[in-house]
Every structure is written in C-alpha cells, then in structure tokens.
Structure 1
Amino acid sequence: AAEAAYRDGDPWRQALLEYLRGNRRRVMDAIAGMPGLSMTVPEATYLAWIDCRAMMAARAVTDPVAFFEAAGVGLSDGAAFGAPGFVRLNFGCPQATLDEALARMARALRA
C-alpha cells in the first residue's frame, strides 16, 4: 500500500492540496468580513489562527472559545498554545462544514 501511494498518489495529493487551498480562501474571505477578527495567511498547515483580541476588547469578551461555542462552533483556545486572545480553526474539513461554522461565527458577531 505504501509503495502504491508513493507511485500513484500524487494526483490525489494535488487534489487534496487544492481543496485545502480553497478552504483557506473561504476562511480568509470570511474572517476579513467579521468585525474584530483578523488572521494571517496559513502557509504550511490547515489550521487558521484567528486573532480575536479586537473583538474581545470591543465586546468585553474574556473567553473567545466560549463566545463562539455558544454559537455552535468548536474552536481551540490559542492560550493553550501560547497565544491568548487567538482561536485555532481547523479548515481540513468538508466545505459544507466549514461554511456552516463560518456562518455561525458571523451570526454571533452580528448579535
């Protein structure tokens, strides 16, 4: 199986990388339209590090993970990785799942 993957797996790998690039674009575009959130372009992973500090200050939010969890979005707390005020979103998922999560985040910020 490993030999077949090395020999014949490149088309699958290229398709996966393109899919992840599309998801990265979706996240970048969505976050750019969400007040108080920002991020830099992820270059080597399918994890988006979203800076929530401006949103937290504007809304007196102390826990961005709990804020978005109340909207039905599970994110990882950046504080656990040495980045308090950030959340980590895994965009290595189906586009429909990602779109729903981003829509829920946007709705939470409009409320």
Structure 2
Amino acid sequence: MSLKGIAIIGQHGREIGAVTDLYIDIETWQCQSLEVKLNRAALEDLKLKRPWFGTQTVRVPVNEISGATENLVLKCVLEELEFSGGQPAGMASAPEQDPRDTTGVADEASKE
C-alpha cells in the first residue's frame, strides 16, 4: 500500500486534500512530514491564494496525523494545524518580498 494519493480528512470530517509526497529523515529512516495537495475548499478555509491552474501544496508533520485506515485523519481542525515551518495555517501568508526588489515601487523622484 502506498501513501501517495491517500486522502487527508480534517476533524470536521471534510477531505482537505491528498498526499503527493513524503519527507523522510535519511539518518533515522522516519517519515517527518507529508506533502499534501490541498483541494479548493481547503484553500478557501485557509484564505490562501488560489492559483489559476491546479492548487497549492503544504507539508503536514506526521505527528499531526491521528489515524490511518483508507484515509489519514488530522488530530486538529485545519485552521489550527501548524505546517512545517511552525506557522499556524490560519496565519499563512505570501512569501516575503526581497527588499532589493523594487518592482512596482515608485522612486522618490517620480513622486515630485
């Protein structure tokens, strides 16, 4: 049995997405997290930006999975889940812009 493609179910009983990849610690041979392709409803719940095509993926730590049968079940509700990186899902934001990137920023001379 493969974990890839298995549905992830939240505590509310709704499917949030499916496993697309595994992250393994090669020193301990333990699975650290799962890459989950979020469905559209989960993106809306998390207030994440919807791409034009496809969807977004997140890394879910395996310690946030409470059970596994035909599906994997989360221990907490989706909005309370801390994704890999330590940021609560409800606080997810766009990546920070490089301060050296001045694209779209008017310079002082153009304001006068």
TM-score computed with the length of structure 2 as normaliser? 0.31
Q: Which has the higher strand share?
A: 2
TM-score, normalisation: structure 1? 0.31
- Say which one has the larger Rg: 2
More helix by percentage = 1
